[in-house]
Structure 1
Amino acid sequence: MGKLGGVALLIVLVFAFTGIVFVTGGGNNSCAVAATISPATATGLKPVAGYSGDQLINAAAIITAGAAAGVNVKGQTLAVMTAMGESGLRNIDYGDLAGPDSRGLFQQRDTWGTLAQRLNPTVSAGFFFQRLVKVPNWETVTPTAAAHAVQINADPDHYTPYYAPAESVVAALLGGDAACAATAVTGSNAQQLAADLVVKIDAGNITGIAPDHLREIRWIAAGEVHANCGINLAILQVITIAVNTFGSVGISDINRLCTNQYLGNTDSSHWANGGGHAVDFYSLDRTPTTGADANAIKLLKTLLPLMPAGSATGQVQCRAKAGTSLELAGVRQFEDTCNHVHLQVDPAYTGSLKADPAKASS
């Protein structure tokens, strides 16, 4: 299986030469925009987890190839992790004792493709993704197990220490697209937004845990009014953007007043002024989030330019510990548990998210 065939090769080569990534939010996202992780973008970044310069440019090429292959952020992170473990994100033009013919970011041998292909960061990454997606349960096994199934390294645990740095690098390179996300906020009819979300709930694209907060969405969709069980319009829009961006999300909390989950904070946007002014995502793209992982950073970069004045997000210490802290003008950050992403608007706010990201602070 040394060479990509037909359409797959054409796609990878197009991306190799154009650098274009078509960002879609999964099967249900109607927003598709052209975005580029250019060498200039990567070069302009400060060192991330000890990686800089050409290393970040190579990581950007891997991410681009992953988007071309339709692989999610976790898969892109696995590939960056693997290249870290194989080459230190350097495009090596020599092999070693174990593989004298190994070359490139992934140290691929001559059975993978031609020398020129293996030394092309985008094409060699395409080879990696082509094999990764054929690994059974690659999204749920440990990262090093998924990489080992592709690379067949002598040490199955070789890639373990590289996963956290890979998450940091991918998070630094991947940003959301606020202009794309803004298309989801043009709808200001809460009942219609809720009805659209119910479709995604029934399809399994939005999941919840006990106590059930998804019923709050169902009640709004059905036009039912339940005391202290409403959801802020902007929060419905946040949920819409999140599920469109990732294809699937898990929600642990919305209106805690509705479920009588008083946690000792009367000012909580989950609770204050009737509740329902915040949402907690415990998973993005069917992957648990820490509030500091690549998916979380992508969500925050997508949403925060659209958030109205007085908005806030949690997990600031989680991001600081992971080295992926964000500067969020006009959005307060606070400490929160590292098992979800918390987003809130001011409990007194009754309007929409900003359809024009340039006016986000107004």
Structure 2
Amino acid sequence: MGKLGGVALLIVLVFAFTGIVFVTGGGKNSCAVAATISPTTAADLEPVAGYFGDQLVNAAAIINAGAAAGVNVKGQTLGVMTAMGESGLRNIEYGDLAGPDSRGLFQQRDTWGTLAQRLNPTESAGFFFQRLVKVPNWETLTPTAAAHAVQINADADHYAPYYSKAESVVAALVGGDAACAASAVVGGNAQQLAADLVVKIDAGNITGIAPDHLREIRWTAAGEVHENCGINLAILQIITVAVNTFGSVGISDINRLCTDQYLGNPASSHWANGGGHAVDFFSLDRTPTTGADANAIKLLNILAPLMPEGSATGQVQCRADAGTSIDFAGLNQFNDGCNHVHLQVDPAYTGSLKAAPAQAPS
């Protein structure tokens, strides 16, 4: 990532309710919502994945339009990917044989809007996101399939080569890992977090197995109190970070006291102090996890700086056997089954995840 012209991009997100404040100095690996990217900042960046200057300014406009439309980082990345495939991130004023009236970043035809609207990067991106969010289960589709559902390109796989480049551009513009950015949209209201998660459950983005622990999320969302079936606020936040990062997750355990799954360990965070202080993910991005695979390491790297004192993760021996051992500062590790990722907070802890640390400007 290039210099930011000596001016650090500072984004402070303060939630009105008791929640988390995330601060970024715009430096590499800082956490930020891909929402308020300055065009000047984008223009000053060194080339990213072969894109530079006005192309990055246009990417910033797409990212900001996505934020305004309420889509997550994955959706914003899809927008950048699509414009790469349609116009090379250039706001072109001509079409092609298939669409002689196509114009702009997304090569939108005259049925999309006026010529002025289609040549306006923000408005044309807004048109794209308006249609994207109406695509059923767009978050679980492959990137090129989601884009094709909006654009109806002659080649359904046309956009596939651009997704990794789009990830690089989004990461550079937000000042860090795009997945890290997903962690910055987590608030601290348990019922609202649970309600947002129920939407993802109903959309198929969060799945479970028997016994049903997803009902614990539904009860929390509805404000229903069931004895020994609560969920720690930090665990709801962890689930939110995971699904925001990977688009879909599978959950096998939350509150084992609720489902009467006593496995011989009264100190287990699944069980102790009313239960619900741990979560087990059996899949990330619709891929089974061993706790030692790339997705598991990615999730742990995102969460480790945010976990409160006394938190822990399992599968340490799985990572040792796989050659992926890593020291997650502030996160204790212990042996556990290699068919999931286990994350827990101290059963006595009742607060939020920690704020992401600010980073120095690059």
Q: How far apart in 1 are the matches of 2:162 and 2:44?
A: 23
**For structure 1, which runs of at least 5 residues remain unmatched after alignment?**
1-20, 185-192, 317-326
Q: How far apart are the structure 2 equivalents of 1:45 and 1:334?
A: 42
Paired residue type of 2:108: Q
TM-score after normalising by structure 1: 0.55
Specify the alignment match of 1:78 in structure 2: 78
Q: 1:356 to 1:154 in 2, by over 3 A?
A: closer
Match of 1:357 in 2: 355
In 2, Cα distance between the equivalents of 1:334 and 1:103? 56
Q: Which residue of 2 aligns with 1:175?
A: 181
Q: 1:56 deviation in Å?
A: 4.4
Which SS does the other structure have where 2:181 is aligned?
coil
Residue equivalent to 1:224: 227
The CA deviation at 1:91 is 3.5
Contact kept? 1:279, 1:344, Cα under 8 Å = yes
Q: What is the CA–CA distance in structure 1 between the aligned matches of 2:166 and 2:270, rounded to whole Å?
A: 33
Contact preservation (8 Å) 2:20, 2:355: no
Q: 1:125 Cα shift?
A: 0.7
CA distance in 2, matches of 1:358, 1:90: 34
Give the count of matched residue pairs.
304
- Structure 1 residues 201, 340: closer, same or farther in 2, change over 3 A? same
Note the alpha carbon deviations across 1:261-287, whole angstroms, 9 max, x for none: 79xx99986689997543235689xx7
Aligned in 2, Cα 1:134/1:242: closer, same or farther, shift over 3 Å?
A: closer
1:123 CA displacement: 1.4
Judge which range, 244-253 or 100-109, deviates more. Answer: 244-253
- The one-letter amino acid of 1:352's match is T
> C-alpha displacement at 1:64, in angstroms?
1.9
Q: Structure 1 123/308 Cα, relative in aligned 2: closer, same or farther at 3 Å?
A: same
Structure 1 segment 29-178 matched on structure 2, within 5 A: 36-39=36-39, 50=49, 53-54=52-53, 55-93=55-93, 95-96=95-96, 98-99=98-99, 102-135=102-135, 138-139=138-139, 142-167=142-167, 169-170=169-170, 172-173=177-178, 175-176=181-182
Q: Is the 8 A contact 1:182 1:355 kept in 2?
A: no
CA contact (8 A) 2:139 2:247 kept: no
**Higher mean C-alpha deviation, range 246-255 or range 111-120:** 246-255
1:106 is paired with a residue of what secondary structure?
coil
Q: Does 1:211 align with 2:214?
A: no
In the alignment, structure 1 residue 259 sits paired with structure 2 residue 257: no
TM-score (norm 2): 0.55
Paired amino acid for 1:259:
Q
**Secondary structure, in 3 states, of the residue corresponding to 1:36?**
coil
Change (3 A) 1:138 1:199: closer
RMSD: 6.0
Separation in structure 1 between the aligned mates of residue 357 and residue 244 of structure 2, nearest angstrom: 22
Distance apart, 1:332 and its partner CA: 7.1
